[in-house]
Structure 1
């Protein structure tokens, strides 16, 4: 089972000083900052998923890449741009269109040849055909029901574009392996899409639109696809990451998936910020006084003294570091976090959760490069440099859980 991590230009600065919170003023982001596969001794994924929408944007909206970054990616190619050979583990690149970014549009904004130019021009290993997302899951609605008219239209667009994509890839003799996309709203409609894609010639098929589905709904769709799937057809799940279900997914022909969930939970989730092998922990929130919008507003209104806020912030950070050096008791740290939280948050009391994290000290049991290097800094919820590193740690743990779900077997070999 292959895990692809969707790229969104998430890198960390190795020059960042966690005490002074300063960095090298002469750093160049693309040259000096590091990806997860460079920071960690062993890459926590098998490859990177790169979206055309993230790189190029679309009419009316820019992507996340600067003009200079886009030009460099096209000029140097993905292998060199992402420094795939500079890390410790060989990685593959998969490309997609970023259908979520244009889900509200009547029709996908990219032509088939535009997308092929992107994949082949950047030197990707795999390229996913242009698709149009269907988000509904209605297994009891018959295919000819009027409520399914828009779903049918999107499915037909996706299949038409998949056929054009297949034919143009053959005619242009592309250097990547093409994947068709099956969009559906029920087990039967997904099965129909997979059957159509196999008739076109695809033996690698991505299943899209499943992110909102519950696990039993995904499994129902995979069981439906089993009725038509050829033995040589490999499935990719777009946006799905559920380690505990990997053995079951594998039985249904799933050989790869992609997700940002473990990374994003580091700073988007309310509770599950730091992943450990057996459970997840809340990160210790110590926002910068000058970087927290809510606290800045209270300071401007005169409700909170800036000097007092800075004092509480510094006390919390100092006690956290002393605790990691076994110099203070856990209750002193919890009290300091609560005192600071009272002025920047004022609503959420996470003291019991903080006590759990601090008492367990999970970073001391972790063997990843980041936890060994940073200590308690990895569980402090504060700014992009800490939060992204915690996200990279989460990817490391996710990969370990993925291995465990496969009963400790080594990574699968590519079947190309």
Structure 2
């Protein structure tokens, strides 16, 4: 089972000073900042998924995360050099897709088949996913002939037509990547029908899209229906699914790979599950920057909070956290400082007991990953992108370890 991490240009700056919060003034982001596979060993994923919408955006949106210079470098150098895959001990695989979620509101995908092939082949990807159109809804009781499924059928037909064209053009152009077809559906039967048609087109690698909102039991129902039509040599990829506890079940139905940002994004998007440990998760300790927290800035501008006092409380919380990690003070002193500061920016939520558990357990001390061994207590602080992304990298490390353990450390 292979785990692909979707790229969104998430890197960390090795020159960042956690005490002064300053960077090397000579830093160049693309040259000096580091990807997770450069920071952690072994790499916390088997490959990287790169979406065309992330790189190029679309004519109607600004979803692209790449600067013009980064985009030009990716196209000119190729993915292997751009992502510095040769710097790590593990050879990573690059998969490309169109980023259908970014244009789901449009009537038709914004890219032509040849534009997508140009992107995949030009960047030197190993796998390229056909152009698709997302179906969000799921209702296993509605058949294709039902008028309520009209828009779903239209999107599925578009996806299959583009998959056929994609396969044909890849053959004509003799591309260097492996084409992957996409199955979109709204029920077990519709997914199975899509897989049947994709296999008839000639695909033996098929990505299943639109399943992110589904419950695990619904995903498994779809996989069981697909089992009835799937050829023995057809491999499945789950787009956007990262349910570690269910990977064995998924694998038993022909799933050989998946992609997800969930372990990374939980580090700074989730209310509670911010830091992964082998058998549980912890809440990260929130110490926002006075100048970076919207609520606090608004209160300061409104005259409700004295800026000098806010900075004093912020610094006190940071200093006491570091002293606690050095075992110079007890946990109660830290919790009081955190509570005093939180009253200025988030007085409605008291996380004292959650923080108590995090601080008493000190999970970063038991973690062998490079992040925790290098930055220590800083990894548990919910504060700015340098700490939050490092915690996200740590989560990827733990997730990958859990995945291998769940699969019996098999490399399938």
Instruction: Spell out structure 1 runs of 4+ moving beyond 3 A.
Output: none
Structure 1 unaligned segments of length 5 or more: list them: none
Instruction: Give 1:97 shift.
Output: 0.1
Distance 1:185 1:290 in 2: 46
Matched position secondary structure for 1:275 = strand
Q: Does 1:380 align with 2:381?
A: yes
**1:369 equivalent in structure 2:** 370
C-alpha distance in structure 2 between counterparts of 1:251 and 1:41, whole Å: 29
Note the 1:176-191 alignment, pairs <5 A: 176-191=177-192
SS in structure 1 at match of 2:85 = coil
Q: Distance in 1 between matches of 2:298 and 2:18?
A: 26
For residues 149-199 of structure 1, the C-alpha deviation after alignment (integer angstroms, 9 at most, x for no partner) is: 100000000000000000000000000000000000000000000000000
In structure 2, C-alpha distance between the alignment counterparts of 1:202 and 1:411, rounded to whole Å: 23
Supply the distance in 2 between the matched residues of 1:270 and 1:23 (Cα, whole angstroms): 29
Partner residue in 2 for 1:40: 40
Q: Is the 8 A contact 1:188 1:221 kept in 2?
A: yes
2:332 corresponding residue in structure 1: 331
Q: 1:70 to 1:358 in 2, by over 3 A?
A: same
Residues 358-393 of structure 1: per-residue CA shift (max 9 Å, x gap) = 011100110100001111100000000000000000
Name structure 2 gaps, 5 residues minimum: none
Aligned residues: 411
Distance (whole Å) between structure 1 residues aligned to residue 51 and residue 322 of structure 2: 40
1:358 aligns with 2:359: yes
Q: What secondary structure, in the 3-state scheme, does the structure 2 residue paired with 1:130 have? A: coil
Contact 1:4 1:46 (8 Å CA) reproduced: yes
Report the equivalent of 1:394: 395
Taking the aligned partners of 1:153 and 1:287, their CA distance within structure 2 comes to: 47
1:235 is matched with 236
* 1:42-75 deviations in Å (ceiling 9; x for gaps): 1000000000000000013231101111000000
1:287 aligns with 2:288: yes
Matching residue of 1:10: 10
The offset of 1:242, in angstroms, is 0.3
Residue aligning to 1:54 = 54
Report the counterpart of residue 319 of structure 2 in structure 1.
318
**How far apart in 1 are the matches of 2:310 and 2:89?**
43
User: How much does 1:143 deviate?
Assistant: 1.5
Q: Name the structure 1 match of 2:21.
A: 21
Cα distance in 2 for residues equivalent to 1:142 and 1:184: 11
TM-score of the two chains, using structure 2 as the length reference? 0.99
Query: Take 1:313 and 1:225, find their aligned partners in 2: how far apart are those partners?
Result: 55
For 1:192, the equivalent position in structure 2 comes to 193
How far the C-alpha of 1:122 sits from its partner, in A, is: 0.2
**Residues in 2 aligned to 1:88 and 1:320: alpha-carbon distance in whole angstroms:** 35
What value does the CA root-mean-square deviation take over the aligned residues? Answer: 0.6
